[in-house]
Amino acid sequence: MAALMDTRLLLRKIKDLRCLTPRRNRVKAKWAGSLPKHPASSLALQNFDATYGHQLGEQRWPSVRVSLLSERKYGALLNGFSADEAVVGELEAQGCRDFIVNTDHQDGGAKSEGRTEEEYTDVSQELPPPRLSPNIKCLVFPRADITRFKPTRPDVYGLRSYYLMDAASILPCLALDVQEGHCVLDLCAAPGGKTLALLQTPEIRFLCVNDMSVSRTSRLKKVIDSYIPKELKGRLRVTSEDGTKWGEIEKDVFDRVLVDVPCTTDRHSVLEDDNNIFNRSRTKERRMLPQLQMELLLAGIEAARPGGEIVYSTCTLSQLQNQYVVEQAIHLARENLGIHLQVLDLRPLTRLFSNTFTFAPDLALGEMVLPHLTANFGPIYMCKLRKMV
């Protein structure tokens, strides 16, 4: 009986509180009828189950799936221009390590010379370990450690000490192999993490960063202002042009070109409904992605000088947006533009970082970081091409 009385008193208090709540702030269940019946994130997961389940197989997809739905790991890209000298010690005291510097370079050897478009599956001879810029530093927590990084703080000059990003996103910048005096193009640069990584390389003579979205370019400029001193902006140009037209703007100019294209952004697509490309209103845009990606890659190929190198990258597992885009671009560059390309083997790079990331085995073209619960980075796909003289 006492329990019954307590329940009645509780219900009465709830009713009294409801009466005190302004009518405009009361939530009725029927209002939720306007919510989408099939959220974009749910549609994305259904699509991935059908496509990636077949692509990755029954043994690998369930593990990747649960990793995509789990909290991702980040890396702290150190800003070499910041005056905060204590930040490295603070991060290392928390258990972080620089996955680039603290790597055994002796394990970086891999087989296969740079491969032509007809022979990119042929493995023939030893490749030397990749050259890595000593100025690009990225700290990560150990495998299976999901500790979050604290927000970075500005130094006495207003520059932030590190930039939080998916550590696997550094790999395309390392694969680009920027050398002294190089002129570099970052064709789809926003939000700016890869741009910051490239700017850490003092050998860069000039860096052009572009994004066709005006709003994303504004965000990119804010990132640059927060990390790069004013005196270094003389070797930097920020533009907001249609990247697919870059071959008409600057042809045969750049020593290195990074083409990090818009894609389905798999991890965002399964976790967020806002700005999700699987929203029904964006169906046409999503279906046109491979065409856009191919046009951007072809523009990047045209922008590279003869002998220059191009890295194509995405953050999706999709073969249609990865391997097939590269294959089609190689074919069209040869047939329509008279440009022959060499596919360069990235396995020396992936073997170097196999203790930090989980890489997809036996890809026919390029390399890919697979999300894994103990190392929940990615997905990141990358393929490197050389424009033949």
Report the catalytic residues. 315
Q: How far is C-alpha 317 from the chain's CA centre?
A: 12
**CA terminus-to-terminus distance, the chain:** 91
Helical residues (DSSP H) of the chain, grouped into ranges: 2-20, 40-68, 87-93, 171-176, 193-199, 214-227, 246-249, 266-271, 283-287, 289-303, 323-337, 347-352
Q: Residue 176: phi, psi to the nearest 5? A: -65, -25
| Total residue count of the chain as it appears in this document | 389
Residue that the structure tokens 């329940």 belong to:
7
Cross-strand bridge partners of residue 386: 309, 342
Instruction: Find, among 27, 74, 233, the residue nearest to 168 by Cα.
Output: 74
Task: Report the alpha-carbon distance of residue 100 to residue 84 in Å, rounded.
Answer: 20
Give the residue carrying structure tokens 């789809």.
188
Following DSSP, what letter does each residue of 50-93 receive, concatenated? HHHHHHHHHHHHHHHHHHHTSPPP-EEEE-TT---TTHHHHHHH
Tokens of 208: 């052009």
Sign of CA dihedral 261, 266, 270, 272: negative
Using CB atoms within 10 A of its CB, is residue 148 exposed (0-12), middle (13-18) or buried (19+)?
exposed
What φ, ψ does residue 166 adopt, rounded to 5°?
-60, 120
